[in-house]
Homo-oligomer: A and B are copies of this chain.
Amino acid sequence: MTTVETNTRRGRPGYDRDSMLDVIVEAFNDHGYDATSLGIISRRLGLSKSAVYHHFTSKEEMLELALARAVDSLRAVFEAPEAVAGPVAERVRFVVRAAVLVACEQLPYVTLLLRLRGNTDVERQAMEERRAFDARLADLFELASVEGVLRNDLQPRVVSRLAFGLVNSVVEWYQPSGALQPEALADTVVALVTGGLSAPGRVGRAG
């Protein structure tokens, strides 16, 4: 969104925090948060370590800001009107589709969130918020199962975990610079979740 070298504010060239964060999050994803030293970060930013500390009070604050961005984007998905009302089948499709779009459009930030292991308080808090989203999707699948929209030969809890895993796996390979558009990918994921992969009439539905 913001340019790397300059921004719209008047005075100095320098970075603003948002554009610095883009670089920092990339480093976090390459090495893992713990293993990303301030040396690595300052080298990527072309600044000294002290200059970096002028913009952030600690390494943990960088993580906190980055995770907040990912969590906020995902929260918007689950709080959208299309996610909380309407036919269950359409709510499932909306959430899956929107989650894929968020994963594509906020790729590095969502990637960071998904790779947390919970070794610090900041990580644990973000993971807890993420787990709340998992739970809401699980509730949606539970509801779908009760209403008979979901096939009833599979456990809804297992299915919802797999569905979320399917969506989240996008961050492991999707490249925003490539030809595949987020919308097309989202459509494919929704199609896979609802319809499966078999050609019609060729391979029977497994029981």
| A158 pairs with B170, CB closer than 8 A | no
0 or 1 for each of A153-179: is its CB under 8 Å from B? (1 = yes):
111001101111110111011000000
CB–CB B158/A202 < 8 A: no
Chain A: how many interface residues by the 8 Å CB criterion? 53
User: A154 touching B117 by the CB < 8 A rule?
Assistant: no
Stretch at the interface among A51-59, A67-75, A77-85, A189-197: A189-197
Contact between chains at A199 and B149 (CB < 8 Å): yes
- Partner of A149 from the list B148, B158, B203 (CB cut-off 8 Å) is B203
Asked whether A151 is an interface residue with its Cβ less than 8 Å from the other chain, the reply is yes
The answer on a CB contact under 8 Å between A159 and B188 is yes
CB closest chain-B residue, reference A163: B197
Is A150 touching B192 in the complex (CB atoms < 8 A)? no
A191–B18 CA distance with the chains assembled, in angstroms: 44
C-alpha spacing A149/B200, complex, angstroms = 9
- With A34-B34, A149-B203, A191-B206 known, 6 other A-B pairs at CB within 8 A are A31-B117, A149-B198, A151-B200, A164-B169, A194-B196, A196-B196
